[in-house]
Structure 1
Amino acid sequence: MASSASGDVMPTGGRIFTSFPDIFFLPEFVFGGLVWILVASTRVDAPNPLGWVMFVSIFCFVGTTLWFFIFLCGANQSSVWPALDTGYHFVAIVFYLSASVALAITTVSAGLTLQIAGAAGLPTDLFLKNYRLDIAAVVMSYLATLLYFIHTILSALRWKRS
């Protein structure tokens, strides 16, 4: 009886593309990958916290990829998987929120540096390019945080049903 109940709760195979919260796997890949790419394409100064942002984006990208393939292959039918799903996505939220805040602070500092460089008459082309990439990375990071948050809430509801 317990195995049939868990089979109804945790989707496998192609059903993960049509069930909530598992439908969020693909947008999490996209936005998490974009954070990784955008941060990797900017210049990193020594006291910059972008190393943490890179760690979080790579960790969550790889973790979500593994999680996705576990669900796709149907290896998630044990009764412990709803709790593990909720736990993993909660950790991803905490990581991404801390990385998003650090990235936003870095971006604000880069904007101030850009203003100072412009006022001093220095060339600002490289500063402006990095600043725009940082802004895009902040937006993608907060979108990834939101997606992981929604996934966590829906996973917790699924865990409660199981």
Structure 2
Amino acid sequence: MAATTAQPMASLPSGGAICSTAPDVFYMPELVFGGLVWILVASTHVDPPNPLGWVMFVSVFCFVMTFLWVIIFAAGCHKNNPGWASADFVYHSMAALFYLSASVSLANITLQKKTAGDPKVYKLDISAVVFAYLAFSFYFMHAILSSVRWKNF
């Protein structure tokens, strides 16, 4: 007869533990790189407005939501509810998808503006593209690790 072993239930961190647990350690890089994308895109002339407006929306939305997410987890408002583990996975997956689309749009616009325009603005746009892809990678890694935590919850 096979013996069953109980899987240890995962727990959601709260307080200072969000700075040391596997998926939650990515909160600060997400905020830093997302904020840098926001600043760099806002410091240049927003032309064309449609794709760069999307980039601004993504960077501002994800920055604000991630900051609120950090506050919720740090304050312990989740009370170790399994619904928060799934919400964490869904949010970070959505943010990764948003940042991927914003990064591709920003890279396309930057390549189009390479020959015509101020070299200083071009360098700012290149920096924004790099930081957007870094933000995407941190959100993507957070989503993957959150899915593992959600599965084990």
Higher helix share: 1
Question: Deviation at 1:45?
Answer: 2.1
Question: Deviation at 1:87?
Answer: 0.0
SS at match of 1:113: coil
For residues 17 and 49 of structure 2, the distance between their equivalents in structure 1, rounded to whole angstroms, comes to 45
Task: Give the aligned partner of residue 12 of structure 1.
Answer: 14
In structure 2, runs of 5+ residues without a counterpart are 1-7
Question: Deviation at 1:17?
Answer: 0.6
Instruction: Select 1:83's aligned residue among 83, 86, 91.
Output: 86
Task: Give the aligned partner of residue 4 of structure 2.
Answer: none
Query: What's the TM-score, normalizing by structure 2?
Result: 0.91
Tell me if structure 2 keeps the 8 A contact 1:100–1:141.
Answer: yes
User: Are 1:151 and 2:142 an aligned pair?
Assistant: yes
For residues 48 and 10 of structure 1, the distance between their equivalents in structure 2, rounded to whole angstroms, comes to 38
For residues 25 and 102 of structure 1, the distance between their equivalents in structure 2, rounded to whole angstroms, comes to 24
Q: Percent identity?
A: 55
SS at match of 2:13: coil
- Counterpart of 1:61, as a letter, is F
Match runs of 1:103-114 below 5 Å = 103-114=106-117
C-alpha deviations, 1:47-66, integer Å up to 9, x for none?
Answer: 55111000000000000000
Instruction: Select 1:97's aligned residue among 84, 97, 100.
Output: 100
For residues 47 and 33 of structure 1, the distance between their equivalents in structure 2, rounded to whole angstroms, comes to 19
Query: What's the TM-score, normalizing by structure 1?
Result: 0.86
Question: Deviation at 1:136?
Answer: 0.1
- Counterpart of 2:102, as a letter, is A
Tell me if structure 2 keeps the 8 A contact 1:48–1:106.
Answer: no
Give aligned pairs, total: 145
Task: Give the aligned partner of residue 124 of structure 1.
Answer: none
Question: Deviation at 1:79?
Answer: 1.5
The two structures, once aligned, show a CA RMSD in angstroms of 1.3
Match runs of 1:8-157 below 5 Å = 8-46=10-48, 48-76=50-78, 77-114=80-117, 127-157=118-148
